[in-house]
Amino acid sequence: MIKLLSMLLAACLLAGAATVQATVTLESFTFDTPQQEDHFKNLIAELRCLVCQNQSLLDSDAELAHDLRAEVYEMMQKGNSDEQVVEFLVARYGDFVLYNPPFKPSTWLIWIGPFIVLLVALFLLWRSLRRQQHMPQHEISEAERKRLEQALRDNNRENSRS
């Protein structure tokens, strides 16, 4: 009976914790139209969570993401345009807050870096293949071939015994 009560109590605590977690992570913003809600979600989907870094503000559950979503919501409610919201966040946090940072001197490495790495990898592959082509190919002698065949036969016999 005590075991049943303790299991029931544990289940209630887990259900309560899940409810508390849901209220913490799910923010309820009110919008006049579904289009406004979609517009808000699209905007925060284009902004990077500065804590998670691989998630957008829409997807992140980090505390900073909650705060930034609330700030974006307030700015939109005040009538700020998307550009104004983005400019504010970039001025505050830098281009890193954008999933698609602009192409400018401070972000050249972000845009060109993968191509540089690809070119270096292709060059190293090409050089390796050229070296292999220029390496002399050694043919084995008849005596070496017979010795290898004998070793293989001996190995096969040992494997068939075990």
Q: How far is C-alpha 91 from the geometric centre of its chain's CA atoms?
A: 25
pLDDT at 105 over 80: yes
Q: What is the CATH number of the domain that holds 59?
A: 1.10.8.640
In a domain, 10, yes or no: no
**Contact present, 101 and 110 (Cβ < 8 Å):** yes
Examine the fold and report which residue of 79, 102, 125 is the final residue of a domain before the chain moves on: 102
Q: Do 28 and 98 belong to one domain?
A: yes
Higher per-residue pLDDT: 10 or 119: 119
Helix pair angle (63-77, 34-45), 10° resolution: 130
**d(C-alpha 156, C-alpha 162), whole Å:** 10
The number of folded domains in the chain is 2
* Threshold 0.75, pTM exceeds: no
In a domain, 7, yes or no: no
Q: Do 96 and 113 belong to one domain?
A: no
Q: Do 92 and 114 belong to one domain?
A: no
Q: Do 91 and 142 belong to one domain?
A: no
Q: What is the pLDDT of residues 46-85, one digit of tens each?
A: 999 888 878 888 888 888 889 999 999 999 999 999 999 9
Q: Do 32 and 73 belong to one domain?
A: yes
Q: Do 33 and 98 belong to one domain?
A: yes
Helix pair angle (82-93, 63-77), 10° resolution: 140
Q: Do 73 and 119 belong to one domain?
A: no
**Contact present, 86 and 75 (Cβ < 8 Å):** no
- What is the predicted pLDDT for the residue at 27? 61
Higher per-residue pLDDT: 145 or 18: 145
**Contact present, 52 and 60 (Cβ < 8 Å):** yes
In a domain, 9, yes or no: no
pLDDT at 18 over 70: no
Token pair listed for 45: 């989907």
Q: Do 63 and 78 belong to one domain?
A: yes
Examine the fold and report which residue of 57, 72, 102 is the final residue of a domain before the chain moves on: 102
- What is the predicted pLDDT for the residue at 14? 59
Q: Do 65 and 87 belong to one domain?
A: yes
